[in-house]
Structure 1
């Protein structure tokens, strides 16, 4: 999972309030129940020492939330005195219920675990006149959830249906139709590139009309073409069924997730033979402190045990608070080891992968390294 979206957050100086709201089936008084849930969390933050500005920033977002907003999905919100810094709707943030945490660091370990097995998909439903570009989070466990969508109508005015007349006129019109199709495809590709730059998809699924897919695929840049898969489903026609398209999307996302995990496992075993991977809390801690972690490895269903002490920067972390006095002006604070490692990894440019339950890693944690640490 890509941590780049939260890198700025991890680099900030806290303290932070991290609020988790789990998805619940709505009752008859869903709005009132939501307000009561937030009121309890707000009181908890105040009791933990959260300042009024942070609580007020959260209240602007959660104090006005309606019950229906949280029916199907949970929510994770992080705020500080600077305002709301992160606000994400997710299918299952945690099975343990609502929580509010006041801490020196954003407590996003549970959030990133909740994304295990999910794939960020850019779904493109195309025809020769344009395409619909959807940003989707896909998971076989939770289904497909669309974050946003955009309709791109091609700018070519020429009709793109095949001409029927013969002779030279036929050939000329055919060339114009082809040019129009390529121009429309270029417009769609421009939209795909724009969406990809911020969404950072792990997979692009190209669906819809065969001819429309072909001309779009021909113009995709290599970095997107490498993660693109075509499916024989989907249509831009009004009233078209979406069931077959969703099934095809989830199938491709499942394959991509399986392939990703297999690749990480293979890379880890190969890297260990060359001192480019470590496992166990102490070696991973040392790698995180020096910025050597390229990918932090966690195990699904099993958290990293114990706590670590953190100071005033992501690299200020240790098992012993006395060790932080030379590199941190802040009073050391004990936090769950997993959250500390996730923050340090994300702030220093790494990412995280959650391997399947039953994976054997010492202390349930490992790391692929940018460079050997001698650990």
Structure 2
């Protein structure tokens, strides 16, 4: 069994190459309610009953029973995603936000699209909290404490990373903050941080920000509100959600801009479901762009190989596939991404409206590529 912070397509690529069928379970395991264990037990029972009705065997149900809701070490609001096949849990990890509703599917392919889309946009950041512990009218006595950590939003809200802690005499804060600023700059560079979110005491924060290197200062986002540092969760957890929700990671934004440019110049890209499926068949896709996952009623036909994907059974059989399977489009689309190394970008329609809600950046084009 592998317990992990869930990463997007790389995770699917690494774990789901083995044959199914898979049990895919999503549930709310938040512990901010009066009787969390009782609530989670009820959810676990309903999910077990659902999988049993879908044909899951007892061995698989029993192994899921051991891990579903067992994330007792994770405080606050969060969810859990568990995938298992042939009596073995292949993935067990936390979700930074609970799923919209609990679900359990027993199917040939893993139901991974909710996992993949929740993990996006994967924005690297640095969070810094600065507290001044002196007298309200004296800025030469007392202490300044600084806490900093880097992470990937939204994953790090559940499993925060290494934290830097410094306690500095107020009398030396002006001088020491200059040295700390260079330390933070080096750390942010290593983490490829898109933003530096800063909260805490106004005076102490202002002193630090003014002494940051220009490259880091340009990335600063000031936030207010409560700034606890000892909750076992990420620094500035509540504020991070407000800063990043609806925001695209710099890398994803770059891919969207490339798509827009190629669309304008008839470059190597394609759009619409049929054209994207055709490009996936050829292994041409460098990145799939989605406005939203395909609806659960939409079906595609899939074979045993990742690129064996088609809109119709007849088309897939023309490729030599002897036993094609009809699968949900959202499940079938993830597999070729994992199998061919393609990326996935979820882009709001307000940023880029895609025909059929799907498009692709291509590695190359050929005369047979539809557009």
Fold-level similarity (TM above 0.5): yes
Asked whether the equivalents of residues 124 and 193 of structure 2 are also in contact (C-alpha less than 8 Å), the reply is: yes
Aligned partners of 1:71 and 1:105: how far apart in 2?
31
- Structure 1 runs not aligned, ≥5 long: 164-173, 219-224
- Give SS of 1:147's match: coil
Asked whether the equivalents of residues 268 and 362 of structure 2 are also in contact (C-alpha less than 8 Å), the reply is: yes
Asked whether the equivalents of residues 177 and 207 of structure 2 are also in contact (C-alpha less than 8 Å), the reply is: no
Cα distance, 1:284 vs structure 2: 0.4
Please name the residue that 1:347 is paired with. 339
Q: Greater helix percent: which structure?
A: 1
Q: Does 1:49 align with 2:50?
A: no
Which residue of the other structure, out of 39, 43, 59, is the alignment partner of 2:45? 39
Which residue of the other structure, out of 260, 265, 268, is the alignment partner of 2:259? 268
Aligned partners of 1:46 and 1:237: how far apart in 2?
44
With over 3 angstroms needed to count, the CA separation of the structure-2 counterparts of 1:354 and 1:20, relative to structure 1, is same
With over 3 angstroms needed to count, the CA separation of the structure-2 counterparts of 1:100 and 1:255, relative to structure 1, is closer
1:147-162 matches, within 5 Å, as 147-152=159-164, 162=172
Cα distance, 1:61 vs structure 2: 0.9
With over 3 angstroms needed to count, the CA separation of the structure-2 counterparts of 1:109 and 1:126, relative to structure 1, is same
Please name the residue that 1:99 is paired with. 103
- Give SS of 1:295's match: strand
Please name the residue that 1:222 is paired with. none
1:126-145 matches, within 5 Å, as 132-135=148-151, 137-138=153-154, 145=157
- Structure 2 runs not aligned, ≥5 long: 1-6, 131-143, 200-204
Asked whether the equivalents of residues 134 and 147 of structure 1 are also in contact (C-alpha less than 8 Å), the reply is: no
Asked whether the equivalents of residues 119 and 154 of structure 2 are also in contact (C-alpha less than 8 Å), the reply is: no
TM-score of the superposition, structure 1-length normalised? 0.68
Which residue of the other structure, out of 308, 316, 322, is the alignment partner of 1:316? 308
TM-score of the superposition, structure 2-length normalised? 0.68
With over 3 angstroms needed to count, the CA separation of the structure-2 counterparts of 1:161 and 1:33, relative to structure 1, is closer
With over 3 angstroms needed to count, the CA separation of the structure-2 counterparts of 1:98 and 1:162, relative to structure 1, is closer
Aligned partners of 2:313 and 2:10: how far apart in 1?
29
CA RMSD, Structure 1 to Structure 2 (Å): 4.8
- Give SS of 2:23's match: strand
Aligned partners of 1:352 and 1:253: how far apart in 2?
18
Aligned partners of 2:229 and 2:18: how far apart in 1?
47
Cα distance, 1:71 vs structure 2: 7.1
Aligned partners of 1:45 and 1:327: how far apart in 2?
33
- Give SS of 1:50's match: coil
Asked whether the equivalents of residues 298 and 364 of structure 1 are also in contact (C-alpha less than 8 Å), the reply is: yes
Q: Does 1:110 align with 2:114?
A: yes
Aligned partners of 2:328 and 2:277: how far apart in 1?
13
